[in-house]
Structure formats: structure tokens, C-alpha cells
Chains A and B, each alone.
Chain A
């Protein structure tokens, strides 16, 4: 069964304290892995797409990496405005119309 597990569920950081969020996935064949940011009361906002193991994408203080079993979202020197829930989703090859989402990591960055 296709499954996405994110850890930790919640993470509290001091401003400037770098860390990583984990997304472990089980899927028969991976078409793409997607990272989203979701602010309270809003819809998820697209951040990155990763397609194959070894691929990396960067945007400002965020860097996403992908292996055959998991993806990491590295946050370097975070700021309070990075506080949000970060969601990971996988798109299977055989059923590419359906995205499987994890439950997210709620990040809180304190000034």
C-alpha cells in the first residue's frame, strides 16, 4: 500500500537554528515527490518537485533532497516567517492522478 510518513510531527527551532524534516515513502513506482508549505487557514503552497534519487532543489533557505526511500527538507538559518506546516506528497507511476500526502511537520521558529 502506498504510504507517506513525515517526522517529526512538530518541530520548534530558534531563529538561525538549522534542521531537517523527513518524509519516508512507500510506493510501487515513483513518478514525483512534492513538497508543500501550508499556513493556517490556507491551501498548500507548492515548493519543490523531485523526480529521481540524488536530485536536489533549493529555494532561499530551503533545500530538498531525494533518495529511493525518503526525502529531506533542510532548513538553513530559519526565520520566524518560515513557521508553517510542511507537507510531502508522492505521485505514483501507475496511478498518477492521485497524490498521497503525509500528515505534515508543523514548524515553529522562535525569534
Chain B
């Protein structure tokens, strides 16, 4: 089973602060994704990447940046965190026909106060 590891698992941030969520996968997947999960909205795509050095905007990218410095690592950056960004964030890898699915991490619960 593919392994995707997110850190931290829980984070409390202050409004206006910078937050970085990290994701690591050791499965050599080219594609990686960041989703946020909110009750009543389901999972929504924030940013994604098709390989090291590339990032693309998903459906709700405003207020977020992404960084893919290597095949294994994909970060989500909130430069100026706001309370509306309080959510559970999931990283995933896979998404190609050879993988046939997305493999999700266990999520990061972020609270912005």
C-alpha cells in the first residue's frame, strides 16, 4: 500500500501568520494533490503537481501557495492565514493510470484563531 505522510497532524495558528503544511510520499508518484475537507463541501482541490518543480492551481487556490521541491515532497503554504482557512487538509499522491487511484495521507487539522 502506498504511503503518504503529512506533518504536522494538528496545527494551531494565529490570524495573519504563515503556515506550512508538509507532505511526503515514498512511492515515486509523479502526481500529488492538496485537498481541504469541510462539512457541507466535501473535498475540494487546492493545488496539484505533476512533478518536481511544477505546481498548478486547483479549484480553490486563493490564499494558498504550493511548492514541489522534489518528487517526494509537496508543501502547502498559507502566507497570511485567516480563520476561514480552518479546516482539515489532505495530501494525496497517485492519479495516473498506473496507480489507478489516489492515496491519501491522514490529514492535518488546522485551526486559525
Binding between chains A and B:
no
